[in-house]
Amino acid sequence: VTITVQDPFSSHLFTIEPQSGIFEGDNFTIRCTVQMSSLIPSDTKTELTITKGTTLITKSVTGEAKISKKATADDTGQYTCHAKWKETLKIIEKQVTVAVPVSKPSLSSTAFNSIVAQGDRVQLTCAVVRGSWPIIYTFYKGTPENSLHQSILNATAGVYIIPSADTADSGEYFCRAENNAGVKHRCERSQNININVKVPVSKPKVYLVISRTHYEIGKRISIRCHSTNGSSPVTYSLFLNRRFIHSVKNCTTEPAVFNILINNTKDGGVYKCKAENEILNSSKYSEGINFTVMVPVSTPLLFPLLNSTKAHLGENVTLHCTASTGTLPITYTLYRKHSRLTA
């Protein structure tokens, strides 16, 4: 006796179109088909199911199960085509990978308000919210022809580092992010950001235009403050005994000039100046200069000790000479007619 066992399915096909390079938003079709053997009655119903993992996607008994849709990132996964007739079950599995186009990248830097101190380390980061790996990150300065750095990463961000910034690194930067799937290519460009490399101010020097150790009330004096190094604009601030007086923003390399009117003795003391530019926490103070304010003596008053202008011959007479105002010490000199008297 000869027993022949024959497969009830003459063909069992599982196709995915397109076969590769499926991008999010593309149309794709998953089709599961079966043809029965000629030995099986033509009106036989065969159950076809398509599942993703353990989730049922579609079912049919017409000889074909099919889904057509726009691809999303969630469609990535393992798909299975099941063909079942009575106790016979055939399974075909295929992997579907939906490539996600890169989103528009965002470029950021470690610079505070786009300002970087000369010599500082600067990091530029080109980041995307979405995109299938690998992603190509390219950094540019100025124009698309001036590429600085390129990296191919399985990551949502690429980095470019300037280890020690110089003024030549100032300018406009942007980046591009791109990925591939089959013959398709997606590329997005970031916004532009500016990097301004500034030279920190040097320790300023403060000095009097006309140098003296003391000045009189009512006089005008000029104090100058200057840093030999530092990117403009530089803000110079004047302090008296640690009390802020006035500030000047200077857009040139010339010294800042502070004109002071001496009104009282409190205008004397230690003057210092502070220089700072747009670099964060880069201010520097000068050494101090010191002068005193002299109050001119008022017209002196001469009078005898006794309230009388008459004296007897041989009698001692005491005269008092006093000034109501004037910075001490005050030197008094007594004259008789036009002759200076000595003790």
Average pLDDT for 292-300: 87
Give the per-residue pLDDT at 245. 94
Is the pTM higher than 0.75? no
The count of residues in the chain is 343
Phi/psi of residue 209, nearest 5 degrees? -65, -45
Per residue, what are the HEC states of 38-69?
A: CCCCCCCCCEEEEEECCEEEEEECCCEEEEEE
Contact between residue 179 and residue 103 where contact means Cβ atoms under 8 Å apart:
no
Q: How confident is the model at residue 30 (pLDDT cuts 50, 70, 90)?
A: very high
pLDDT value, residue 87: 75
Tell me, what's the pLDDT at 43? 65
Query: What pLDDT band is residue 38 in, cutting at 50, 70 and 90?
Result: low
Q: 222: pLDDT confidence band, cut at 50, 70 and 90?
A: very high
Q: Is the pLDDT of residue 88 over 70?
A: yes
**What DSSP string describes 233-251?**
PEEEEEEETTEEEEEEEE-
* Cα atoms in the Cβ-side hemisphere of radius 13 Å centred on 224: 11
* Average pLDDT of the residues in 222-239: 95
What phi and psi values does residue 248 have, to the nearest 5 degrees?
A: -135, 130
Task: Write down the mean pLDDT value for the chain.
Answer: 88
User: What's residue 107's pLDDT?
Assistant: 97
User: According to the model, what pLDDT value does residue 11 have?
Assistant: 66
The residue-averaged pLDDT of 51-64 equals 90
Report the range of poorest mean pLDDT among 153-167, 202-216, 224-238: 202-216
- Region 28-46: mean pLDDT is 75
The mean pLDDT of 143-166, rounded to a whole number, is: 96
Quick one: pLDDT at residue 148?
Answer: 96
Residue 312, pLDDT above cutoff 80 = no
Average confidence (pLDDT) over 145-164: 96
CA–CA separation, 57 and 79 (whole Å): 9
Does the pLDDT value for residue 203 go beyond 90? Answer: yes
pLDDT of residue 166: 95
Q: How far apart are CA 282 and CA 276, in angstroms?
A: 6
Most confident of 5-19, 127-141, 172-186, 206-220: 127-141
Mean pLDDT of 323-338: 85
Percent of the chain with pLDDT over 70: 91
Query: For residues 198 and 117, is the Cβ–Cβ distance under 8 A?
Result: yes
Whole-number Å distance between alpha carbons of 122 and 199: 15
Name the DSSP letter for residue 73. G
Average pLDDT estimate for 178-182: 72
Spatial distance between the Cα atoms of 278 and 276, rounded to a whole number of angstroms: 7
- Range picked from 184-188, 211-215, 235-239, 322-326 for highest mean pLDDT: 235-239
Specify the DSSP element, H or E, that contains 147. Answer: strand 147-153
Report the alpha-carbon distance of residue 319 to residue 304 in Å, rounded: 4
